[in-house]
A and B are shown apart, each in its own frame.
Chain A
Amino acid sequence: MAVPVFYSVRNLGARKLTTLLTAGGMALVVFVFTAMQMLDAGLKKTLVETGSPDNALVIRKGSETEVQSGVSREQASVIESQSGVVRRADGSPMVSKETVVLINLVKRGSYKPSNVVIRGVGDLGLAIRPQVKLLEGRMFTPGTSEIVAGASVARQFIGAGIGETLRFGQRDWTVVGTFDGGGSAFDSEIWGDVEQLMQAFRRTAFSSVIVKLDDEASLAKITETLENDPRLTLQVKRETVFYAEQSKALSNFLSIFGTALSVIFSIGAVIGATITMYASVANRVTEIGTLRALGFGRGAILATFLLEALALGLVSGIAGVALASFMQSVSFSTTNFQSFSELAFNFTLTPVIAVKAVLFACFMGFVGGFLPSVRAARMKIVDALRA
């Protein structure tokens, strides 16, 4: 026979201050756990949004990022002519030949410098990335010193807002528009005309070539042709894979750091739960004796105290997740050292994270409540009634 559930739950209300403090401590641990997971999820989401599975990115063999890469004009035309690349009505290939460099800009407010990606795109740069939409102003006019800035860059950096100018490569560049990258890494970039930027930076080679693939099999075909040609020294990657690799280190860092923090902090919270549950048992020795005398078994007593601890965990878990959900309005921006450039992303709460966080809280409650519950279950009826 089991003790009714509400007996356990209502016991939590008996000493409100104690319950509040214990649940508060646990909720803070859950908050840290959830927030760190949200950050990692936000980073992954940004990168998933950035690449598109039917695009392939071609860079120089051996380079890890677009900035390190170089693709000559001759190589670029070989890439364009591959079969498997989508062709438009006029027969021209759906390809964007781009130049990607970093420029050092200073943040508004803090005046701290950081590297921002500036991407020179061709006529099809927008068409090949349907997630990018103009937000304000207009697109740059090809052949001029005009640029457009991603929403996050425009907000964060001096000179990148609409109507402002940036100076580099012996020219002043006017920001004529801002664009929304749909939560992708493009939000952290500045775009301009590829030919103008290459002239300004005195470059003769592109950084990367992005091609739209006509079907699933084309990627393997193009990869084989391009990578096996010894004259080319190129490598081909699916765009989604490329961007996932770009922030593997940052993602690993966030997830290891988050887990380590949660584990260490949870020691404190578990101790809090243990103290509370020991007190809860100590205060109810006579009650336990009575329940046992009425015929409730040791198992039922064990279950009822564990249930109380689990309920404590559940409440703190929900409170912690609720607290962390406010972090969704905070955006986060840091240098991704793999690409050496600034990347903005959001704290993203997913159902999986919420469930994991609540389970984590219940687990803390369970661990904290276990020893006290065992003590309650092992009491002798006579001793307990005499207390």
Chain B
Amino acid sequence: MHVLRLIFKNAFRHRLRTGLTILGIVVAILSFGMLQTLVTAWYEGANLASSTRLVSRNAISLVFPLPLAYRDRIRGVEGVKAVTWLNWFGGIYKEPSNFFPQFAADARSFLDMYSELHFIEGDREAFLRDRKGCIIGTRLAEKYGFKLGDVIPIKGTIYPGTWNFTVRGIYRYEGANVSADITNLYFHWQYLDDTMRALSPRRAGQIGTFIVDIDRAENLGSIAQAIDATFKNSLAETLTESEKAFNLSFVAMSDQIITIVKLVSFVVVLIIMAVMANTMAMTARERMSEYATLKALGFGPGFLVALVAGESLFIAFIGCVLGILLTVPVAGGFGQALATLFPVFRVAPDTFLWQAGCALVVGVAAAVLPSIRAATVNVVDGLRSIG
């Protein structure tokens, strides 16, 4: 018991130094947590996927369309319950920096399939009735102050001209796995198709991706293969994968950036390890004569190691606890700021474990050299030491 009191007293003998070290650990643990959460957020979008949905796109790449006629042939594949489709619109609202995704959706079949989409304001019927209507995510509505009845002008990049969509609904997403404020805008595919038919008939009847609802999750693989086999050796071959795999393929595109984020999150731990090790090295150096006195009194090297390591772990522990406590509120703030980029920005339970693990490693690593010095100090030399 005495050793614990001694550790506690020792830790606060040099208040300024201990305080600064704790502050450093808090900053490091906090930034480690934020960077890990950023990585999680990157992948989190993929978890919004349903396990009974497939996405079919042109096998060459997403920029190539599929013909509308594929709808009925996909419907004919055994195990397929429903089919809907989306076209990426990729337009610009005022400035290119105001990025948010816009999709042309086959409204009725889309709303039927995406039952996790809940209307907060406006309703399904109002959207279905208005050919030029659109529905938007709550976050999007908040960010630009869009209200029901507002007209949002979007300048097309893929589809020429400026398109005006009237807000007929504001939705939120209540998924089975995660809930999120998706920031998408959906409008009627029919409106897009009619306009393109008049403007450039070659581009009418084209679909970006088919979303396929299937009967049972375990048939995912075989149905995907069956769909692709249907269109094998045709002009537009398909590539069908689960909604989750489809979402993950976007994450994979930034794979090296994610690696960098992961790497730097460990660099900050290394930085603080150096700072902490320095603090402990100084502490041990100053107290060499005390260690020698304790040894002269008959305390063994084990006791001294416990004393030094205990102090190091104690300081790391305080920093770690404060850092973890701050992680959730700070992540909340980041989540607000990055709302349109990451629909879900929450700290994964694993992150807390990693934070604690890193603090433990820092505490232990910082104690290694000073412990050895303390344990091996010669009583005579130690008593002579002036720090």
Which one, A102, A261, A269, contacts B63 given CB within 8 A?
Answer: A102
Question: Within 8 Å of chain A (Cβ to Cβ): is B158?
Answer: yes
Is A48 in contact with chain B by the CB < 8 A criterion?
no
Taking CB atoms and an 8 Å cut-off, the chain A residues in 154-171 that contact chain B are: 168-170
B275 touches A21 (CB 8 A): yes
The segment from A26-34, A78-86, A89-97, A120-128 that touches chain B is A26-34
- Inter-subunit contact B278/A32 (CB<8 Å): no
Determine which of A61, A267, A278, A342 lies in contact with B16 in the assembled complex, contact meaning CB atoms within 8 Å: A278
Q: Is B274 an interface residue (CB 8 A)?
A: yes
Q: Is the CB of A333 within 8 A of B24?
A: no
Q: Does A143 touch B at the CB level, under 8 Å? A: no
B322 located at the interface, meaning its Cβ lies under 8 Å from any Cβ of chain A in the complex: no
Judged by a CB distance under 8 angstroms, whether B21 is at the interface is: yes
Cβ of A275 and Cβ of B20 under 8 Å apart? yes
- Interchain CB contact under 8 A, A334 and B254: yes
Chain B residues whose CB sits within 8 angstroms of the CB of A114 once the complex forms: 252-253
Find the A residue at minimum CB distance from B91. Answer: A62
B31 touches A275 (CB 8 A): no
A31 nearest in chain B by CB position: B267
A17 at the interface (CB under 8 A from B): yes
How would you classify the secondary structure of chain B's contact residues: helix, strand, loop or mixed?
Answer: helix
In the complex, what residues of B have CB within 8 A of residue A31's CB? 267
| A249-270 interface (Cβ within 8 A of B) | 249, 261, 264-265, 267-269
Q: Quick check: B369 and A17 within 8 Å, CB to CB?
A: yes
Indicate whether A25 reaches chain B with its CB closer than 8 angstroms: yes
Nearest Cβ in chain B — how far from A313, in angstroms? 15
How far is B233's CA from A178's CA once the two chains are assembled, in angstroms? 29
Q: In the complex, what distance in Å separates the CA atom of A169 from the CA atom of B161?
A: 30
B23 at the interface (CB under 8 A from A): yes
- Interface stretch of the complex, out of B54-62, B143-151, B295-303: B54-62
How far does the alpha carbon of A17 sit from the alpha carbon of B96 in the complex, in Å? 52
Task: Verify B61–A104 contact, CB threshold 8 A.
Answer: yes
Cα distance, A249 to B95, chains bound together (Å)? 12
- Residues of chain A lying within 8 A (CB to CB) of residue B23: 271
Contact of B271 with A by CB under 8 A: yes
Q: How far is the CA of A354 from the CA of B158 in the complex (A)?
A: 42
B17–A170 contact, CB under 8 A?
no
Q: Give the contacts of B159-176 with A (CB-CB under 8 A).
A: 160-161
Q: Are A334 and B264 in contact (CB under 8 A)?
A: no
Q: Are A265 and B267 in contact (CB under 8 A)?
A: yes
* Interface size class of chain B, counting residues whose CB lies under 8 Å from the partner chain: 35 or more
**Chain A nearest CB, measured from B280 CB (Å):** 10
B63 adjacent to A67 (CB under 8 Å): yes
* B249 partner residues in chain A, CB cutoff 8 A: 112-113
Interface 1/0 per residue, B175-216 and A, CB below 8 Å: 000000000000000000000000000100000000000000
Measured in the bound complex, the distance between the Cα atoms of B64 and A307 in whole Å is: 63
**Total contacts A to B, CB within 8 angstroms?**
142
In whole angstroms, how far apart are the Cα atoms of A24 and B160 in the complex? 55
- Which of chain B's residues have a CB closer than 8 A to the CB of A274? 20
- The listed residue (A18, A113, A268, A342) touching B272 by CB distance below 8 A is A268
Q: Among the listed B21, B92, B157, B278, which residue makes an inter-chain contact with A18, where contact means beta carbons less than 8 Å apart? A: B278
Inter-subunit contact A202/B267 (CB<8 Å) = no
**Which B residues touch A63, using CB under 8 A?**
157-158
CA distance A165 to B61 in the complex (A): 17
Q: In chain A between 280 and 327, which residues have their CB closer than 8 angstroms to a CB of chain B?
A: 283
- 1/0 per residue, CB under 8 A from B, across A102-122: the answer is 111000001011110000000
A15, A24, A249, A275: most-surrounded residue (chain B CB, <10 A): A275
Contacts of B61 in A (CB 8 A): 101-104, 115
A276 within 8 Å of B by Cβ?
yes
Closest residue of B by beta carbon distance from A15: B285
B268 close to chain A: CB less than 8 A: yes
CA distance A279 to B160 in the complex (A): 67
Would you call A225 an interface residue if the criterion is a C-beta within 8 Å of the partner chain's C-beta atoms? no
Residues B160 and A61 in contact, CB atoms below 8 Å apart: yes
A144 at the interface (CB under 8 A from B): no
Find out whether the CB atom of B252 lies under 8 angstroms from the CB atom of A113: yes
Digitize B83-94: 1 where CB-to-A-CB distance is under 8 Å, 0 elsewhere.
Answer: 000000010100
Do A101 and B63 form a contact, CB below 8 Å, given A17-B369, A61-B160, A275-B20? yes
Interface residues of B (CB under 8 A from A): 16-17, 20-21, 23-24, 27-28, 31, 59-64, 90, 92, 96-97, 99, 155-158, 160-161, 202, 233, 235, 239, 249, 252-257, 264, 267-268, 270-272, 274-275, 277-279, 281-282, 285, 369, 387
Q: Other than the known A272-B274, A272-B278, what 19 A-B pairs have Cβ atoms closer than 8 Å?
A: A18-B281, A21-B277, A22-B278, A25-B270, A25-B271, A28-B271, A61-B160, A104-B61, A104-B239, A114-B252, A115-B62, A169-B60, A204-B202, A249-B97, A268-B28, A268-B275, A275-B21, A340-B62, A342-B253
The 6 A-B residue pairs with the shortest CB-CB distance in the complex, in nearest-first order:
A335-B253, A25-B274, A272-B275, A21-B278, A112-B252, A271-B24
Ordered by A's residue number, 29 sampled pairs between the chains whose C-beta atoms are within 8 Å are A17-B281, A21-B281, A25-B271, A25-B272, A28-B274, A62-B157, A64-B92, A67-B63, A101-B61, A102-B61, A102-B63, A104-B61, A104-B62, A112-B249, A113-B249, A170-B233, A170-B235, A249-B97, A267-B27, A268-B268, A268-B272, A271-B21, A271-B23, A271-B24, A275-B275, A283-B387, A334-B254, A340-B62, A342-B253
